[in-house]
Amino acid sequence: MMRELDKLDRAIVESLSPDARVSNRQIAESLGVSEGTVRARIKRMEEQKQLRITAVTNIDRFVDATLAYIWIEVERSDQTRDVARTLAAVSELGFVGVMLGRSDILAITMVKNTEHLASFVRQHISSVPGVRRTESSLGVNFLKHDYRMARIVS
Amino acid sequence: MNNLAASAGTRPIDLDDTDHGIIALLRADGRMPYRAIARELGITEATVRARVRRLEESNTMRVVAVTDIEAAGYGMLLAIGVQVENRDPEAVATDLAAIAEVFSVNVVVGSHDIEILVVTEDAGSLSELLMATLGSVPGVRRLTPALAMDVLKNQPDWVPFHDA
């Protein structure tokens, strides 16, 4: 079980939230702690994979791109993990999770259109040994994504 | 609001190799000093600063802090398919987006009308979230949840920006 963030950790994360380029000194001043403490806390949270500071780009800048949710059923349950591991290595996939209920694996990617989705699924998903069938939902309006929430796995 | 959507006023900008180089470095380490970025790309610090400002002001890129769901105290991550009846799916999606535990909302075509990602603390709060909170949104006919047992990869570097 992962260590939960304490009060100071959360306050630092909150300070980073509007603009993650804010300096350690500014955070330290606003929270009344030393700059070294802020630096050490950020370092610890990053090392323990509790926090990741990264650049994100606006999906609207990608012309004609939309999100696709691909639900994958495997042939036999004991193949689930291997299939998921293979899919996690596909660079186009932004999310790969082993799921309980509805389907065995969920993979999320960005595609241009239905044809692109079909060829992506054929090339990268259906061809993986152990994949029995897939069902996809194609996004028409990506309304919300709170980038502050993620499982930090790599 | 932490959820950022495309502001109508901004126009897309053309990105060159320098922009792509800066984005790649900030993706790997969002707090990399401008001086180090400048050295890495063989340009001046002032150029880096100006480019970053342009990328941010045009709503193209943003440097953000991502917190791990578990470290934030949420034990469960679910993907839920939502079937809608007697109401515009866009309107239902807007209502769902206003719920704090719902961190991703996508109106889709397929066997469901909306796909959402939600987080919750434990089984007790999950039941409350599904049956009371999400289930009572007008137009929601049926929720088909799937619990993430093991997330092997979660690194979307694309999001919709909603503010500005």
Topology of domain B76-147 in CATH is: Alpha-Beta Plaits (3.30.70)
Whether the Cβ atoms of residue A20 and residue B123 lie closer than 8 Å to each other: no
Query: Under an 8 A CB cutoff, do B158 and A148 touch?
Result: no
Chain A residues within an 8 Å CB radius of B67: 5, 13, 50-51, 148-150
Q: Do domains B4-57 and B76-147 have the same CATH topology?
A: no
pLDDT band at B12 (very low <50, low <70, confident <90, very high): low
Residue limits of CATH 3.30.70.920 in chain A:
59-138
Hey, where are the domains in chain B? 4-57, 76-147
User: A43-63 burial, b for 16+ CB within 10 Å, e for fewer?
Assistant: eebbeeebbbbbbbbbbbbee
In this prediction the pTM is: 0.82
A36 pLDDT more than 80: yes
CATH number of A59-138: 3.30.70.920
Minimal CA separation from A29 to chain B, in Å? 18
Q: Quickly tell me which residue has 């990268």 as its tokens.
A: A124
Chain B residues within an 8 Å CB radius of A139: 106-108, 115
Query: Under an 8 A CB cutoff, do B69 and A149 touch?
Result: yes
Q: Which of A17-21, A44-48, A74-78, B139-143 has the lowest mean pLDDT?
A: A17-21
Residue limits of CATH 1.10.10.10 in chain A:
7-47
Topology of domain A7-47 in CATH is: Arc Repressor Mutant, subunit A (1.10.10)
User: In this predicted structure, what is the pLDDT of residue B43?
Assistant: 97
| Separation between Cα atoms, residue A112 and residue A62, nearest integer Å | 9
Q: Is the ipTM of this complex over 0.85?
A: no
| Separation between Cα atoms, residue A72 and residue B163, nearest integer Å | 34
Candidates B64, B82, B137, B147, partner chain A, best to mutate (most A CBs within 10 A): B64
Confirm or reject CATH 1.10.10.10 for domain B4-57, answering yes or no. Answer: yes
Which of B110, B119, B147 lies at the smallest CB-CB distance from A101? B147
pLDDT in tens, B104-146: 999 998 889 999 999 999 999 999 999 999 999 999 999 999 9
